[in-house]
Structure 1
Amino acid sequence: MKRLLYVLIFVFAALKGVGQRVEEQCATMAMDSVLRLRHPELGSLEEFELFMKRKIRERGELALTGRVMDEVIRIPVVVHVVHNGENVGAGTNISAAQVASQIETLNEDFRKRAGTPGFNTHSRGADVEIEFALAVLNPQGQIMAEPGIDRVAGGRSTWTRDQIENLKTYTIWDPTLYYNVWVLDIAATGSTQLLGYAQFPVQSGLQGLSEGGGSTTDGVVVHVRSFGNTKKGNFSNLFPNNNQGRTLTHETGHWLGLRHIWGDTNCGSDYCDDTPTQASASSGCQVGRQSCGSTNMVENYMDYSQDACMNIFTIDQKARIRAVIANSPRRRELATSNVLGNTQGGVPVARFISDRQQVMLAGEVQFTDRSLNNPASWAWKFDGGSPATSTERNPKVTYAKAGTYAVELTVTNSKGTNVLRSPGFIEVLNAGQCATVTNFKGPQNLLREPGGGYVAGQNAAKITAVSEFFENPLGYTTVSGAKLKFGKVFMKDGAASEGVVNVTVWNARGFQGGPGSVLEYKSVPLREIALDVAANKATMVTFNREVPVGGRPFHVGMELVYEGDTVALFTTRDGEVLTGTSWRQKSNGDWDLNLQANGLNIAHHIEAVFGMKPSVQISGSDLFVNPGEAVTLQASGAGIYQWAANENMNTGIGPMVVVRPTKTQTYEVTGSGTDVCVDSASITIYVREGKITGNEPLTDVFEKSVKIHPNPSSGKVTVSMNNASRGKGSVGVFAVSGVRMKSLEIEKSTDELTVPLDLSNFSAGLYIIEIRVGADRAVRRILKH
C-alpha cells in the first residue's frame, strides 16, 4: 500500500520567458499551513484522506449494487482575467478566444475525447465525465457580455502569492455557483517561476465551512503565460513547453482532490492504486522512465511533464474526483448551479438546495434558491417547519418534530410562474439535543474466532481491543455514555472477580479512519456485565465526563485483558451491514477493519449516547474496596445534586460525597438546575467479603490498595495506598509506548501514604503509572484531559 502523504496545493515552475522549469521548494506546504492556521475548522490533511478512503470505498460498494451511477456533471467557470490596464487581447488582458481555447482543452482532457490530444487508449484511462462551461449569468443574474470572463483591473503588473490571496477575497464569485479561476502574471522568485496552484477540497461534515473554511479564496490560480492552447489559436505569449493548456488541467485535478503522481516524496503515494509509484516529478517527456520498480506514467496530468506529453487521468483518479464532487462542500453544490442560463429569458424554473436534508430535532436548515431565469419573487412552503411559509429568497427553517417533510418553492417573474414540490425532502430524526445511534441492525450473533474464542472478544488471536466506528453526520459534540450488548462473560474468580473491561472512546484519526487517540475510558466490572447477560440486556456505561468529539467521527469499543476472564460482544451477521464499521486491534497495537482482517462485514452491538447539552455523569475513586473503606464519588454535568439516601454517606447534597460501604452498594445521584440530556446516574461499589486477614499474599494486598484520583484528570493527581509494605520506592509515569515521562522517589514507613502527582504539563492522552515499594508493584492507567 502506498504511504500516506499530505499535500494541498500544486506548485509548478518554469523559468520566465524560457522553455525550462525550475521546481519551487516547500511553497505548497507553507501555504497549506497558513490556510489551516487561519481556519482550524478545516481539520488536518490526514483527516481528509481518511474521509476520502471511506467515501471511495462506500461509492465502490454502492456501485456494485447499482445504487450509484456516474452522470456527466457540468461545472460553471468564471475566469477572472487580472490585467494592468492593457487593451483587451493585449498583455495580461487576454482575449476571449484564448479563454475559450483553455476551456475546450479542459473538456478534452476530462472527457477523454477521441481525436483530440486529450484522448488516451490506455486501459487505465478514464473519461471523468465532468464538463466545464463558461458561466452565462453573473452574480446579479444578468447575462454576461463575455460569458465566463470577469475582467479585473488589478493595478499592478505582477503579483506575489500573498497579494494574490488578498486579491481573491474581494474578487471571488460565490464558490457554490462558480468554479473560480484567476489568470494573472505571478511574480518570479529569482530564477524560479510559479505556473499555478489550487486550493484543495475539504471534507464534508466540518463546521463553519459555508462562511469560513477558505470559502473566500477557493479556486485555482494560473500564470497568464500558461493559460490557453496554441494549437487552437495564435497565442504567442505562452511559455514554449506550457502552451497547450495543461496547467489548468493539472490544477483542476488538485482542486478536485488529486495528488501529484509521485506523492511529493521518493516513491510516495497519490492514493490511486492504478498510477505506478515513481521516485520524483518527471520533466520533458520521459516516456518509458523507470523508477520505484515500475514504468512511470509520465503522461499523467498530475505529473510535471511538458504539456504535449500529458494525456491521461486514470480510473482510480476518476473515482477520487467523483467522491469529492459527491461529498465535499462547495464542490457538490456546483452540480446544481443555476448560472449557465440554459433557458434564460423565459418562465422561471424553480430549483433549490439546502445545507442538509437530515437533521436532529430542533435542527435548523438553510435553503438556497437556485432557480433559473431570474425570478422576481419566491413563495416557500415548509411542511413541519417553522416558519411554515416564507417569501425570502434564502430562508432558514427549524424543525421540531420527527418525520419526513416536503418542501415547495413557487417562483414568479413577468413571464410566468413555476412550482417545484419535493416530497420527503427533509428527514427530521427522532434525535434531538440528546440521542443514541448504532450501526447494529440485527439479528444478534456471537461469532466464534477460528482457533478459539470470539471475533468480538477474547480469542486465540489475542485481539487486544475491538471498536465500532461512528460517522457522526449530525455533528454531535459530546458522547456522554454507551450501551454495549454482551453475549458472553466468564470470570475466573467467579462471584469474587475484580476483573474489568475498559469501555473506551477513541477519535477516528488513526490509519484509514481507525481508532486514534483515547478520549476517555471507563472500567466496567465483569460482575456487572454478567448480571446484564443473564437478564439479556445491554450494559449501560456512563463516562466520568462528557467526552468531547467535536462534531467529528469517533469510535466506541472495549479493551481486553487476558487473565483467564472471557467476554464477547454480540455482532450482526456477516454482510448484514453495507459498509465495514467494526475494527479490531492486533497484539502488536495495529488496528484493522474486520472486513480487511478476516473478511467479515459486521457491526458491533454498541450504541453511542450523544449530547448537544450536558448529562449527569458520575465517577468513583475505586470500584472494589474492603468493608468500610472510604470511596469518593464525584458527580458533574448539572448545577444542583441530590444523592439517594444511604447511611454510609457523609452528605446527601453537592457534587462530591464520601461513602464507606460495608456491602456491595449502588449509589444514585440526580441533577437539576441545568438543562440536561440525562438527569441521573448511578455507580456500584463492590465490597470484598470479610476483612483482610493479613494471610493474603502481600503483593495482592499492595496492588489492590493502590488508588489514583481523580481519573480522568486535568492535571493534579493523588496516588494513595494503605498496606503493610515498607521501604523505598518510586512512582513512574510512562507513555503508552513505554517511554518514561516522569519519576518520583518515595519512602513508605507507615501503612497509609499519599503522593501528589502533577501532570498539568502533559499533553492530553492515556498514560501508565507504575507504583513500586520494595519488591511490591502496582500499575494503573490514567487519562489526562
Structure 2
Amino acid sequence: MKIFFFLTSSLLCATIIAQNQNVKFCSQWEMQQKYFEENPGLQQQILQNQQELEQHTQQFIQNKRGASGCYQYVIPVVFHILHDNGGENLTEETIKDAIKQLNIDFQLRNEDTADVVADFIPILGNSEIEFRLAQKDPNGNATDGMIRYETQETYSAGDNIKPGKQWPRSMYLNIYTAINIGGAAGYTYLPGSTSSGNDAILVLYNYVGLNKRTLTHEIGHWLNLSHCWGGTNDPALASNCNSDDNVGDTPNTIGWQVCNLGGESCGSLDNVQNYMEYSFCSNMFTKGQATRMQAAINSSTGSRSNLWKSSNLIATGVNDLELAEFSSSTIIACKGEDVYFEDESKYGQCNWNWTFDGGSPSSSNDRYPVVKYYTPGIYDVSLTVDNNSISQSKTKSSYILVIDPSEGYAPFTEGFENGSLPNNNWLIYNPDGDSKAWMHTSDAAYTGTSSAKMNNINNTPGNLDELLCGGFDFTSMASIALSFKVAYAQRDAADNDILRLYVSKDCGATWVIRWAKTGSSLATVPVQFPVFTPASQSEWQEYSINITSTLLSENFLFKFEFESDGGNNLYLDDINIEGVWNSKPVLQSPTDGVVGQADDVILDWKAVGAIDLYEWQLDVSNQFNTGSLQTGTTNFISTDPNNPDTEFQTSNLTYSQTYYWRVRTTASANTSLWSDIWSFTVSETGVGIGGLNVQSSRFNLFPNPSDGIFEVKLAPSASTSQKGEFRVLVYNVLGEQIHHQIITSANRLIDISSHPKGIYHVLIISGDTAVSGKIILQ
C-alpha cells in the first residue's frame, strides 16, 4: 500500500461512536489549527518528528521484534477526573473497567472477535500491550492512578486544563475525563506532535468503562494509528480511496459511519469493523496496526519508549508482584457454560498456575483460561503467579456454583434443614471476605430447626452480601409465586438495612429486582438492642412475590441481596415456589433442526403439571399424514423432569431421513394445543452424537486457521484409552454435516479443502466422550 505523511489531518481524533447527535466524531481540524495558531514555531519541529517516526516505523516493520521480559509492553496510566460532584466523578469500578476493556481490546481477548468478517480473521492483531493503573506518583508516593479535581473546568475542558495537572509523559499515559471537551467525545495527539505537557487523551466521562471503546480508538491514535481511510477526519468521501493509513493489511476505504459488513468502497472488501473506523461495530485491530503501535512504543518520539522500561515500571509501582488475585465472568454457572477467568494479580507476573476443582480443564497455565463445568456442585478455584523470582497464591473456596437448570422444577421448598451453606443449591457471595455474611444457623427457625442467617452485627455500612439459588427450568410455567419468611429487628430506629429479591432468566448474566424492604418496613418486631434472635413464629413475616412468564426461562435463578446499614441480624426461612402451568408442552431434545441423530434417538419434552397424560406424534412430514406416522401416549407421573413420562425411545429410523415431531397434553378430557413442531435428521450411519460428554481439553486442531487440511493433535494429558480410533464430524454454520471420517493414531489428517472459506464446527468422538471446536478455512 502507499506510504505518505498524514500528520496535518490526523493529529487529533474523537471517538468512533457518538452517543447523541450533539457529540461530533472528531474535532481534529479545529483543535489542530488552534494548536498551531497558539504555537506557530513548533510546526516545523513536529513535521520533522513525524518524518523520523515514520522512518523508524518502516524499519521496525522490516525487523519485527517482540517485547522483552516475561510480560507484554506495559503502560502505566493515570486518570485525571474533572468533576463537579455529579456522575462525572467516575467511580473506582468504572475506571478499573476502562482499564480492563483496554487490555481486552489490545490483547485480542474480546469475545466479539467471533463476529469478525471471515476475510479478516487471519489478520486479527494482538498488540501485546498492557495498561496498568499507576501505583506511585512522580514523587514516589502511593496512588491509585485516579486523581480527582473538583472544578468547573469539567464543563469546558480542553488543552487549557492540563497545566498543573499533567504527569510526565515519559512515565505515564495521561487520560482526562470531563463533561464537555469542546463538542467531541474524545481526542488526542500523535506521538511527537505536541509538547510534553500537552501530550494526553481527553474523553467525555460517559464514554469510559466496560464495553466502551472510545479510549481504544484514541489510544490507537496516541500510538500512531490513523483512521483506516487515511489522514482525514472526513469518512465517506470518494477521494479517500486515493489516501492511505500507512498500514499494509488494511484495505483502502472511503471510511464508514454505518456498520455495512459487506461494504466495498475502493474495489475490495473494507475492514468496517476496525477500531479506527466510525462504523459503530468496531471489534479489531489488524496485525499491521498492532506492529505499527509496537513501533511507536519502541520509539523515543513522544517519550513512548521509556514507558515500558523496567526502571519506569518500578518507579510507577506497576512492576512489584504484591498479590495474586482473579475474577471470573460469573460465579454461578449453568452446566456446560463457558466461564472466563481473568488474572488480576499485581504486578509483573509472567507465569500462571490455575487449579479448577470440578472443571474442564482442571488446571491451566494460561493467563485468561476458559473453563467448563459438567457436574453440578460448588467448587474451589486457585491461582499461583510468579515473576520468575517471587510467587503469590490465591484460593477462593466455594467460589463457583454449577447448576443444572433441568433438575430444578416446581413445586420447590427450602427449609435449610440439611445443615450447611453453601451447598449444591445455594451459593454465598461475600465479596469482602469477612465474617459478616450469609450462613446456616440453628439459632432460630420458623419451621424445623434451621434457617439462613445474615450475620450483620457490626457489619460495615454499604456492604453487599448475596444468597443465590438455582437453577430452575420454568419454561412450562405461566407464572410462579415465590414465597419466603423473614425475621428482622432494627438495633436503632435510624437503621436502614435493606433486603432485596432479584431474579434472572439467563443463568445470572442479568438480574431484575422483584421485591425490596428497608429499615422499619423490613422489621418484623420492634427495635431490639444489641442482638436479635427470633423466639417465636409471631416474630416472622411471610412475603409472596408473583413472577410472570416474561421473567421465566429454562435458566431461572433467584437471589437475596442484603445491604448493610450496620443494623441487626436477619433470618430467612421456608422458601417455596408454586405456580400455574401452561397446558401446551415445550419440546426439549433433539433440538429443532439438529442433524446427525441416532436411529433410536430419544424424544424428550418438558414436564407439565396438573394433567393426565401426554400424546406424541412422529412423522416424515410436518403435516403428520403419511404412512410413516407414529403416535403414542404416556401417563403423567409428576413434574420431576427425570421421570420417564416425558420421553419416548424411537427405533429403526431411516438413515439420513428428516423427521418431525410434536406433543400435547390431556387433562380431565380436555386436550391442549399441540406443541411447536420440531425436526431432526438421522445421521448417514445411524449413529448419533447426542448424550456424549463433550469436553474441550484433549485435542487441538492445527493449523488453525487452515487451508482446509488440518491435523487432530492429541493433548499430552489424554488417557491411553483415548489413543485409538476417533470419529470426526464436521458441520457448516447451517448445521449441515459436510464431512465424516474415522481417524487413528497413524492418520490424523482431515481434508475439507474443497469446501468454501469460513468457520466450521468439528466434533471428535471417542467412546462416550467428545470434543467440540472450530476450524477456520481461509
Query: TM (normalized to structure 1)?
Result: 0.36
Query: TM (normalized to structure 2)?
Result: 0.36
